[in-house]
Amino acid sequence: MPHLVESILLEKGSDIITVRTDATIRQAAKIMIDTNVGCLIAEDDRGVVGILTERDVLRRVIGCDKDPNSTPVSEIMSSPINSCTPSDDIEEIFKILSASNNRHLLVVDHDKPVGVISLRDISFILHHADRERQRLAVSGVEYL
């Protein structure tokens, strides 16, 4: 039985924390700290236009000696943003993320953002599914 992206959203929630593209990196970092998230969805007047991660801040601002007080999110965010749907199979999404430099994906349903998932979220679900398969195999029950 495939595990779907929607199962992650049901487990962790579907909050999407956003930042304006004209916000400074310092402002964005403060939002990440205050909300305890590793990425923000970047928006402008057109809607979602990119994603900003902790890794982006470290590599593209701190690592390049840019000023976080004056560097706008639009300068370092990743764009266009990659996405998946709630009905996508987690194992397929895991393969895609593992083969790329992306660790977060926006979840979109009918062109509307409905959540954000991470490689860590997927790993957690797959790990628990594998443990359940092993437990059932030991007891002689077939896992569907």
CATH classification at residue 126: 3.10.580.10
Give pLDDT, residue 141: 56
The pLDDT, as a whole number, for residue 73 is 98
How does pLDDT run along the chain (144 residues), one tens digit per residue?
578 999 999 988 889 999 999 999 999 999 999 999 999 999 999 999 999 999 999 999 999 999 999 999 999 999 998 899 999 999 899 888 888 878 999 999 999 999 999 998 998 887 665 665 565 556 665 555
Task: Give me the pLDDT at residue 23, please.
Answer: 98
pLDDT the model gives residue 124: 83
* Predicted pLDDT at 125: 81
**Does 118 fall in a domain?**
yes
Strand order in the sheet with 39-44: 18-20, 39-44, 47-53
| 133 lies in some domain | yes
**Model pLDDT, residue 99:** 86
Query: Considering the domain boundaries, does residue 89 fall inside one?
Result: yes
Q: Is 131 within the bounds of a domain?
A: yes
pLDDT at 98: 85
Q: Look at the chain and report how many structural domains it folds into.
A: 1
CA pair distance 116, 94, nearest whole angstrom: 14
The burial class, CB within 10 Å (0-12 / 13-18 / 19+), for 142 is exposed
Asked if residue 144 belongs to a domain, the reply is: no
> Which pLDDT score, from 0 to 100, does residue 136 have?
57
Residue 134's domain comprises 5-139
pLDDT for 67 equals: 98
Q: 15 Cβ partners below 8 Å, 6+ apart?
A: 115
Q: Is 140 left (phi over 0), alpha (psi -120 to 50) or beta?
A: left
